[in-house]
Amino acid sequence: MRVSFIGLGVMGYPMAGHLARAGHDVTVFNRTQARAEQWAKEYGGRPARTPAAAAAESEIVFACVGRDADVREVAVGPDGAFAAMEPGAVFVDHTTAPAGLARALSAQAREKGIGFVDAPVSGGEQGARNGQLTIMCGGAEADYAKAEPVMKVYAKQCRRLGDAGAGQLAKMVNQICIAGIVQGLSEGLSFARAAGLDPQAVVDVISKGAAQSWQMENRHKTMLAGQYDHGFAVEWMRKDLGICLEEARRNGASLPVAALVDQFYTEIENMGGKRWDTSSLFARMERLRTGRE
């Protein structure tokens, strides 16, 4: 299939690579042109100068960019993909963004005779590299059906959860759950140290019971070692939690833990940890426990 991929960051670069390795004809665009050229040298395919140039003649256009404004720019900006896409083509947005933006872009896509699927991902850089992402999708059934087999080359789980915006809402649930789990793990590990226990020995025991989680299995060792460069950055988690809290204000949901953890991440940013991964909540707990600044 002829496809294009817009946005070659730490997630998009390997995701586009999986598409090329699966045999698809891939054109890529990245704001930094040198990175698109580097990708083309590594995987084949073609670099494009604009999102529109990348999207021309593509059956599916994938995007994975940073913020809301970036999504609008690559989709409906002056050189955006929508203007160049042919009727029947589908735009798949892997960016984490508000559900309202997904609904607005879906409506604009329909006016142009093209499809739209909001498809935020979970699994981080490691999941993208290993082709083991979880993808939460919203959009029309026909659009999702066209995109799903292609997305599966870099996904271990891919599911449509409703109309446009449903994927973004599900990603909010994902981030809300992660925030509470990582804070709970951080408190537990810090408590173990304060109590004079061997935290590793404790984890070896409790990870076989009801306390087990992906975060415990994959992050406790680096947390105990004070290493926070193994995953999703604090600044991006704060962006996502901001989206969650804004949506909660609209739908009336109560998110006291998510709001509190967002405040804790603000403290971590003030500690110089904007680019630390989300497990750095433990660094804050250890600072409180030891009294060290």
Catalytic residue among 112, 146, 156, 171: 171
| Residue 208 falls in the annotated catalytic set | no
* Amino acid type, 53: A
Question: To 5 degrees, how large is the angle CA 68–CA 74–CA 79?
Answer: 140
Q: Which two tokens stand for residue 114?
A: 């093209």
Which residues are designated catalytic? 171
